[in-house]
Structure 1
Amino acid sequence: MIRCYLNAVILLQAAVLAASSAHNPPSRTAFLSSPSSKAYDLHSDRESCTKAFASTAPPPSTLESSYVSSYHELTIPSSHSGMPTQKISVEDLTPRIERLLADSGMRSGFVVVISRHTTTAVTINELESRLARDIESWLLRLAPADERSHPSVSTRGVRYLHNDIDARPEAEEEAERCRENGWDIEDPEVLQRWRDQEPINAHSHLLSMILGSSESIPVVEGKMVIGQWQSVLLLDLDGPRTRTVGVQLTGFR
């Protein structure tokens, strides 16, 4: 393999020298027939390099049998049976992901965790009850809730355009998305039902965009590479609601 790399360097140097001889360039025939060039015949070296690399690679059947690629959806049940109160909460996903990883037998690779909602976020940090309350209060200072939001979080004088429900859907593309999701908004009664179920949650969308919706975590020797005090966390920014999280495992056993 080292010879392959040296051959590539020598061929590159020869090409540079040939290009620099602009006033008296040697012919292609003369170059290929020179004694020094015969030892580095492009065709024969390409064959030898191919054989060298092929000899070091594991058989295709081995790669196929050890390769892991699987997608899973985790359901996080709501902690509250009534209407959502737009509470911000923190859920630890780590034990669930570790079970998926153990069941897969994957030893090396990556785990990708993605939120499947526009008002949740995925992050890596410490799971601690007092910190969870700090997170909630700090996020609500960062993006205060609308004065029309649930009374437990509403902030006087704060209003977002997204929360002007009576003005939505505003664009045809938005109306089409409503229809694609089963809402025949051409019917005035259906349109009103759609508006009635829409939450006043613009601040939750903004927080989700700031925090991010996914994390990619290395896996080494069958374990996620995270710190001693780190956990993979789902932040529900408009809950409590039943939520789903996607988990993609990619690697080798």
Structure 2
Amino acid sequence: MEFTVDTDARLTTVDVTAQVEAAVPDGCESGLATAFVTHTTAALVVQENEPRLRDDVETFLGDLVPDEGHAHDELDGNADSHLRAALFGPDVTVPIRNGDLALGTWQSVFLLECDGPRTRTVSVTVTDANG
């Protein structure tokens, strides 16, 4: 299953938990859901959905990776986006228990946009433990 996410800023987070959960087919009681963003300047992360923490993640990435001064910038000016996305990676895997994502109390799945605004595609593959 695939879904798209429209982002509205160069560096932002978007909660995609509901879309990932919707990919779990009826009747799948246990297994794994793997979400994969098909872009090199976006990432997926499991984190708490608290607005100040989401702002902190964006500030952290902005402080850690400067916006400019990278060799790749000569090509298309977005090396910072590639480097930021590489820190988190393109995928997350979440267990499925009793037909639902087995996330912890404060956990959500986020798309981390590093080169927006853009439309991103996320692919979700579900492996049913019972075949």
- TM-score, structure 2 normalization: 0.92
Q: What amino acid sits opposite 1:77 in the alignment?
A: D
Q: Distance in 2 between matches of 1:238 and 1:104?
A: 35
RMSD, aligned CA: 1.5
Question: In structure 1, what is the equivalent of residue 15 of structure 2?
Answer: 92
**Quick one: which of 67, 70, 74 aligns to 1:160?**
70
Structure 2, unpaired ranges of 5+: none
Structure 1, unpaired ranges of 5+: 1-71, 80-84, 147-158, 166-197
Question: Could you tell me the percent identity over the aligned residues?
Answer: 36
| Structure holding more helix per residue | 1
1:138 offset after TM fit, Å?
A: 0.9
The answer to whether the 8 Å contact 2:26/2:99 transfers is no
Counterparts of 1:204-243 in structure 2 under 5 Å? 204-243=81-120
Runs of 4+ in structure 1 deviating by more than 3 angstroms, as ranges, are none
Q: What amino acid sits opposite 2:5 in the alignment?
A: I
Does 2:26 match 1:104? yes
The answer to whether the 8 Å contact 1:125/1:233 transfers is yes
1:100 offset after TM fit, Å?
A: 2.1
The answer to whether the 8 Å contact 1:89/1:240 transfers is no
Q: Distance in 2 between matches of 1:160 and 1:116?
A: 23
Larger Rg: 1
Please give the per-residue CA displacement for 1:93-122, whole angstroms capped at 9, x wherever unaligned.
111122222x43311110001111000011
Counterparts of 1:2-41 in structure 2 under 5 Å? none
Question: In structure 2, what is the equivalent of residue 73 of structure 1?
Answer: 2
Count of equivalent residues: 130
- TM-score, structure 1 normalization: 0.49
